[in-house]
Structure 1
Amino acid sequence: MTDVLTLHQISLTIRGKTLLKDINLSIPKGSFITLAGPSGAGKSTILKICARLLTPSSGKLLYNESDAFLIPPHDYRRHVSYCFQQPVLFGETVADNLNFPFQIRNQVPDQERQHALLDQINLPADYLSKNIASLSGGEKQRIALIRNLMFEPDVLLLDEVTTGLDAENKQIVHRLIDNYRQKGTILAITHDQEELAQAEKIVTIKGGQIHE
C-alpha cells in the first residue's frame, strides 16, 4: 500500500523549545490513523505540519513521495484538508461557507451537492440561507466538516472535531466520517474513549516524540 503522507525525521523548535523531535510516521492511502497522548504532547503540531500550517525546523514531509513544501499551498490544501477543533466559519450565511469550495475552483456552486451533504448531517436544505451567528456549536462543526468534504480531499486531518459535542451530534459526525473513510485517508486526534476504542491504528505521542 502506497503512503499518501510521510513524515521523515520531523523536528520543530520554536524560541528554543523543542515541540517535536524525530517524528517518523507513514500514512498509507486509505488508512485511518489516530494520534493519542496527553495534552501538549505535540499531536496538534503534527497535524498542523501535515496541513502546512507550520514548517518543521528539520526533516521532510512527503505527499505521494514528493516534497509537500514544493507544492503550491492552494493546490496542496485541496488534497490535504484540515478540520479545526473549534469550527471556523466566515461570511454571514451557511451558503457563504458551502459556496467557497466552488468559488476557489472558479466553479458555479452545486446546490444539489450542498443539499446532499446537509441531508447527511441532518440539516434541511433551507439552512443555506441561515445566518451563521444563529447556529449552535454542533451545527457549526457539522457545517465546517461538510465544507471540507464538498470536494473530497485525499487526506482529512481531524483535530478533536467531536470535543464538546453532545451524543447526537457525535453520532452524526461519526457517520459523516465513516462515509468519507470508504474513499479517503484520515489522520485524527481524539481524547474520546469511544473513538479510541474503535480506532483502526493508534500512534501515541508523548513529549514531542512517538512512543511505540
Structure 2
Amino acid sequence: MFSFKEVRYKNILDIKNLTIKKHKVTCLVGQSGSGKTTLLRLLNKLISYDSGEIFYNDQPLSGINSLELRRDIVMLPQSPAIFSGSIKDNLLIGLKFSEQPLPSDNELYEVLKLVKLHKELNQDAEKLSGGEKQRVALGRVILMKPEVLLLDEPSSALDEETEHMIIEALVNYTKENNKTLIMVTHSKKVASEFSDEIIEIKEGMVINEEGV
C-alpha cells in the first residue's frame, strides 16, 4: 500500500526503504521525538518530504491531489479539535467538510457504541472529559469511512482498561471492513497485542520492522 524510497524530511526522518501493508494493523513505536508522528503526517500530505518518494497503491504521493488523498486517508491527531456545539455536530463535521452524505441518528449511535461513548447526541461536546472528546473525534473519523486510518496515540487520554476496549474495537472494525490502520502508540503492550506489523523508529530511522 505505502512504500518509501530514500525519503528524507528535514533532519527528522531518513527512511531508506519501508513498506506498510494494505488491510493490516501497523503500529509505529519508538521514543518521543523519534519521528513517528512526522511519518504519519507524510502519509496524507499534511507535510511534504524533501527528497525521495512515497508511493500509495503504486502511485507517487507527490502526484496525487491532496484533497482526494485525504478522503481516502484520514488522520486523527493526538489532540483532536472539538468544535462548539453538540456531539452530533462534531460527529458530522468531517462529512460536511468533505461533502459526503450524512448518516441517520441510529448510525451515529452505532458509532458512539463502537467507541464506547454512552452519551446523547444533543449533549454539549465541549463539556466532555478529555478522553470522551478523543472518542468523539475517533467516531468522526470512522464515519468518514476512509480506506486508511492514521491514528496518533488514539488512546493517550484514556485509562488502561478503556484503552484496551477502544483499541480492540478499532482493530475489529478495521478487519471487518477491510480497512488499513496505522497507529502511533507509546504502549508496547498495545503494539504486541493488536498489531499485524510493528515498525520501530529511532532518531528518524527505521531500526526494526517485523510481523507479529
Q: TM-score, normalised by structure 1?
A: 0.88
Residue 194 of structure 1: how far off its partner (Å): 1.9
Identify the residue that residue 77 of structure 2 maps to in structure 1. 84
Question: Partners of 2:114 and 2:16 in 1: how far apart?
Answer: 36
In the other structure, the counterpart of 2:184 is: 189
Gapped regions of structure 1 (runs ≥ 5):
none
Answer whether contact 2:25 2:171 (CA < 8 A) is retained. Answer: no
Instruction: Report SS of the residue matched to 1:129.
Output: coil
Contact 1:138 1:169 in 2 (8 A): no
Deviates further, 190-199 or 138-147: 190-199
Q: Residue type of the partner of 1:204?
A: E
Unaligned runs of 5+ in 2: none
Letter in 2 for 1:154: E
Take 1:83 and 1:184, find their aligned partners in 2: how far apart are those partners? 15
Give the one of 174, 194, 207 matched to 1:211: 207
Deviation at 1:124, TM superposition (A): 4.1
- Which position in structure 1 is the counterpart of 2:56? 63
Q: In 1, distance between residues paired with 2:205 and 2:157?
A: 27
1:69 and 1:95 map into 2 onto residues whose CA distance is: 35
Q: 1:111 to 1:36 in 2, by over 3 A?
A: same
On the 8 A contact 2:3/2:55 being kept in 1, the answer is yes
Specify the alignment match of 2:44 in structure 1. 51
Aligned pair partner of 1:200 in 191, 196, 208: 196
Task: Give the count of matched residue pairs.
Answer: 204
Q: 1:160 offset after TM fit, Å?
A: 1.1
> Contact 2:28–2:183 at 8 Å: present in 1 too?
yes
Do 1:33 and 1:188's aligned partners in 2 also have CA atoms closer than 8 Å?
yes
Query: Does the residue aligned with 2:12 lie in a helix, a strand or coil?
Result: strand
Counterpart CA distance in 1 for 2:15 and 2:159 is: 37
CA displacement, residues 44-84 of structure 1 (integer Å, 9 cap, x when unaligned): 11001112111000111221111223222221111111111
* Aligned mate of 1:107, from 85, 95, 101: 101
Pick one of 61, 83, 90 that aligns with 1:97: 90
Q: TM-score, normalised by structure 2?
A: 0.88
CA positional deviation for 1:43: 0.8
The Cα of 1:171 is off from its aligned counterpart by: 2.9
- Give, in angstroms, the shift of residue 137 of structure 1: 1.1
- Which of 110, 114, 131 aligns to 1:138? It is 131
Q: Does 1:154 align with 2:154?
A: no
Q: Which range moves more in the overlay, 147-156 or 170-179?
A: 170-179
Bigger mean CA offset, 26-35 vs 41-50:
26-35
> What code does the residue aligned with 2:9 have?
L
CA distance in 1, matches of 2:201, 2:161: 29
CA distance in 2, matches of 1:36, 1:23: 18
The one-letter code of the counterpart of 1:200 is D
Which residue of structure 1 aligns with residue 9 of structure 2?
Answer: 12
Q: Distance in 1 between matches of 2:192 and 2:2?
A: 24
Distance 2:119 2:106 in 1: 9
In structure 1, distance between residues paired with 2:32 and 2:144: 32
Partner Cα separation in structure 2 for residue 205 and residue 81 of structure 1 = 22
Q: Percent of counterpart pairs with the same letter?
A: 30
Give the superposition deviation at 1:11.
0.3
Q: Which amino acid aligns with 1:20?
A: L
RMSD: 1.8
